[in-house]
Structure 1
């Protein structure tokens, strides 16, 4: 059933719930519940203003809150930017719940959430939406609206770049700004990151999506700064912008305050969620431990076994988790693409736009070294582990690259297809962030078709890609198959954009190869 806000309007200096509600990281017996209170008009995100307030919460088995499943209260203060998180427990597995908050007689909107199946449950079906890369200034978040309107999703998986750090007119350029972001300057401090998260949460489609479904999120680089690594970022100049470690601490604090995410190992986002016997979901953090991206064209750096994308501890954790999993499907949420892809065969006139999109030099677009292609030893170790231990039904779910892709993942691209792939990868395009047709200022599906054909010709394991679409994807899992339905928006600059099914691919259990299917799941 569609959600109703159920909110009491705040007046004058009364508290308000201007940033909506959210839930996330569901478990069989619990889920995180989130909101942000504005205790007084001056207490805007990042301001540090506003007295502490007592926040009540309740969760129920029905949208009218007749059958209570839990209630309590906690304080919201400026120390956490007046955000609150509740780890609601004692819930039943695979069950829909409704929740809300209240302060001083003012009631928040109502949210709906859902717990995961019991660990040993024989689950028939799961459906996850996947999204990534939502630049405020690049367009409207209509993709979120379409997901909010669906009633068949178990969760929404956000694969990174939930917010962008840039100042107004930096990305995209001033001539292409659809709507100005706040604060207008690039964010570098705790106050700035808080304010940016708060501004994103004023978007009605984002709030609707978070109120409709539990969110499972990982970060990528723009939650910090472009092309971030352990010691810095492309978009960070130490002499001018201060200490990188301090900036990262501020960005992480704001992220965990504003997102319904449980901090995991070492304050990162790598963690594991289980969905009955049908799926395990391994979520990666590919920014906190990585070495600096290699120099373009330097094969010795790219293949250096002493350089890492994941960090030793996280890679061992992932390998052991994949080995130990008894689920039918092993899902891996990765913020950057793991499939090896060479771009060198793309016609010269299209190298510039692709280089701008990928953040690499125009003269040397062979691989994108910000993704797994720049850290080949980590990738070889992981994919060889899948092959050598005969771990099947592994599906990588990826964002970052602003394009839809359906890939078969080989250990060595040179040996494909003689050597079978060891995994499948589905890459979701951006919600709004620029892709090829935006940069070329060309109609969709015109000039980009040449580049798509060239990439597929040079990379036989790439079964399909679309360089122009903005939108989302929906993954269905059953005992027999994993199917990804790719969707495209009619126009990211239109807040009322429609959505259309673009393409679907599936892999069958026990068979890593992809096949096209004509229809999305019903």
Structure 2
């Protein structure tokens, strides 16, 4: 995603580095040489018979993320049906080694479907905090519903992670879906220019040690740790887990030579990601995979960075080329065959960039530039967001045609990246809509903290956004609603009859105690492929 502001490299001073040391970065005087679990626990990728567990052990006080310091340590894990661990149903051992930044993953199997469990780790007699997780329903089960928290775009320096705190407090979620930009690669003050709080390392992350330190520093956030301890997280990546506007062979925010070779940087970012995230890679080095929730829903998780062609330039007719891909051939075949073969009532697609086309009509020039920063579109006014599916129009049309021609109904794209809430129909031909059918729907979640329209303009929310929202809806009849100002999260609830998204906004991203309120709800009823407003929130 393209951002303006101080866009290239920051000079890192010794004083700046010292000012943003991570929590527990150095041993306290008299600290015991005993393991610690400073970064919490996590779980992810639930299956009917299992779940992936995660933690990071600090074997000795100086063995901070990215340091390579500290001995290997044996770690025990256990899973119980009760919070007191009176009935332990699975246990095992692993080794936290410096080669994996002292992170530990346990792919636990043999559990019961659709069941809540508690888990914890132990190293040298020291116990981790306990976490709670949940398995998926059995493949042939008919669950009443699937309820997911939905988040995207959590820039540490742009604000506090209150959205995570509010989701962690909910007891009705089966999992949380993170749609990308879990971390950001920028140096301090690059984006945003005026940080709410400071990250570590202070410089832009380039090396394996850098990415490990950045992931580790994010996990010092209490709300992020609480989210991971409360719910299994299903995560895919977007661009900032490596570098802004990344593609197969490079990124906008990567300078070959001065910042090393792209393949080395990407390999470092990918290694750190899989070390630190509770993600089970289906294909080595990617995050595209599929999870099933009984016969109610299949969740297809896309990787739209690893295989894509380079983004086209402003006004470049190349966006319509038949040869351009955002998915890559293997992932395309996997996705389309999976959609065709699905026997679930709903096909949910975890989609890191927006698939709905967006035109901007007569949007005032003073608003087009700031919106371009959020959407990643050319500031000159062209209705093409080349980092979105708008930059790969032929492949988008092939996918929508695949859904239409094969009669694949009840497909919902769940999207992040653009720092705004949206509810869209996904038309077969947007220019003729509603004269042509809608073949899917799309719910887009805003950012946890990253800048959106009012932040970019430096004005209070709802000051100017109404003008932009009205212009966007006038030029795009398939856009049912857009909120260009709020930060927050969403909750998706899927039943046999409908899929509904409740959208929430925070009172102030700069306030660690920010409150949360529901702003709108939209749903799509089975068989309609259209979005309508829901008067009532999810029960």
User: Among 108, 114, 128, which residue is 1:94 paired with?
Assistant: 114
Whole-angstrom CA distance in 2 between matches of 1:366 and 1:325: 34
| 1:57 aligned residue | 77
Deviations 1:83-103 (A, max 9, x none): 000011100000000000011
| 1:252 aligned residue | 270
Deviations 1:336-394 (A, max 9, x none): 00001113431111012112223444224422110100001110110000000000000
| 2:195 aligned residue | 177
Partner of 1:268: helix, strand, or coil? coil
| 2:165 aligned residue | 145
User: Among 41, 50, 54, which residue is 1:34 paired with?
Assistant: 54
Q: Work out whether 1:44 is the aligned partner of 2:61.
A: no
Q: Work out whether 1:496 is the aligned partner of 2:513.
A: yes
Shift of 1:11: 5.0
Q: Work out whether 1:75 is the aligned partner of 2:103.
A: no
Alignment size in residue pairs: 511
Q: Verify the 8 A CA contact 2:378 2:384 in the aligned structure 1.
A: no
| 1:378 aligned residue | 395
| 1:262 aligned residue | 280
| 1:460 aligned residue | 477
Q: Work out whether 1:412 is the aligned partner of 2:432.
A: no
Mapping of residues 331-342 of structure 1, within 5 Å: 331-342=348-359
User: Among 281, 300, 311, which residue is 2:328 paired with?
Assistant: 311
Q: Verify the 8 A CA contact 1:398 1:427 in the aligned structure 2.
A: yes
Whole-angstrom CA distance in 2 between matches of 1:483 and 1:398: 14
Partner of 1:69: helix, strand, or coil? strand
Q: Verify the 8 A CA contact 2:76 2:92 in the aligned structure 1.
A: yes
| 1:236 aligned residue | 254
Q: Verify the 8 A CA contact 1:344 1:367 in the aligned structure 2.
A: no
Whole-angstrom CA distance in 1 between matches of 2:184 and 2:122: 30
Q: Verify the 8 A CA contact 2:148 2:491 in the aligned structure 1.
A: yes
Shift of 1:220: 0.2
Q: Work out whether 1:163 is the aligned partner of 2:180.
A: no
Q: Work out whether 1:398 is the aligned partner of 2:415.
A: yes
Mapping of residues 196-211 of structure 1, within 5 Å: 196-211=214-229
Whole-angstrom CA distance in 2 between matches of 1:160 and 1:378: 21
**TM-score relative to the length of structure 1:** 0.97
| 2:312 aligned residue | 294
Q: Work out whether 1:505 is the aligned partner of 2:525.
A: no
Q: Verify the 8 A CA contact 1:144 1:209 in the aligned structure 2.
A: yes
Q: Work out whether 1:321 is the aligned partner of 2:338.
A: yes
Q: Verify the 8 A CA contact 2:378 2:385 in the aligned structure 1.
A: no
Whole-angstrom CA distance in 2 between matches of 1:521 and 1:355: 33
Partner of 1:267: helix, strand, or coil? coil
Flag structure 2 segments of 5+ consecutive residues without an equivalent: 1-29
Partner of 2:284: helix, strand, or coil? helix
Q: Verify the 8 A CA contact 1:296 1:364 in the aligned structure 2.
A: no
Q: Verify the 8 A CA contact 1:130 1:474 in the aligned structure 2.
A: yes
Partner of 1:455: helix, strand, or coil? helix
Q: Verify the 8 A CA contact 1:24 1:215 in the aligned structure 2.
A: yes
| 1:7 aligned residue | none
Deviations 1:90-137 (A, max 9, x none): 000000000000111110000000000000001111100110000000
User: Among 508, 519, 522, which residue is 2:536 paired with?
Assistant: 519
Whole-angstrom CA distance in 1 between matches of 2:441 and 2:109: 34
Deviations 1:68-90 (A, max 9, x none): 11011111010000000001110
Whole-angstrom CA distance in 2 between matches of 1:187 and 1:364: 32
Whole-angstrom CA distance in 1 between matches of 2:228 and 2:523: 27
User: Among 360, 364, 368, which residue is 1:343 paired with?
Assistant: 360
Deviations 1:474-504 (A, max 9, x none): 0000011000000000000000000000000
Whole-angstrom CA distance in 1 between matches of 2:496 and 2:307: 35
Q: Verify the 8 A CA contact 2:50 2:108 in the aligned structure 1.
A: yes
Partner of 1:266: helix, strand, or coil? coil
Shift of 1:41: 1.2
> 47-56 or 257-266, which moves further after superposition?
257-266
Whole-angstrom CA distance in 1 between matches of 2:394 and 2:310: 15
| 2:10 aligned residue | none
Q: Verify the 8 A CA contact 1:145 1:209 in the aligned structure 2.
A: yes
Partner of 2:246: helix, strand, or coil? coil
| 2:24 aligned residue | none
1:197–1:20 distance in 2 versus 1, CA, 3 Å? same
Q: Verify the 8 A CA contact 1:351 1:365 in the aligned structure 2.
A: no
| 1:330 aligned residue | 347
Whole-angstrom CA distance in 2 between matches of 1:56 and 1:158: 28
> 100-109 or 341-350, which moves further after superposition?
341-350
Whole-angstrom CA distance in 2 between matches of 1:226 and 1:330: 29
Q: Verify the 8 A CA contact 1:297 1:364 in the aligned structure 2.
A: no
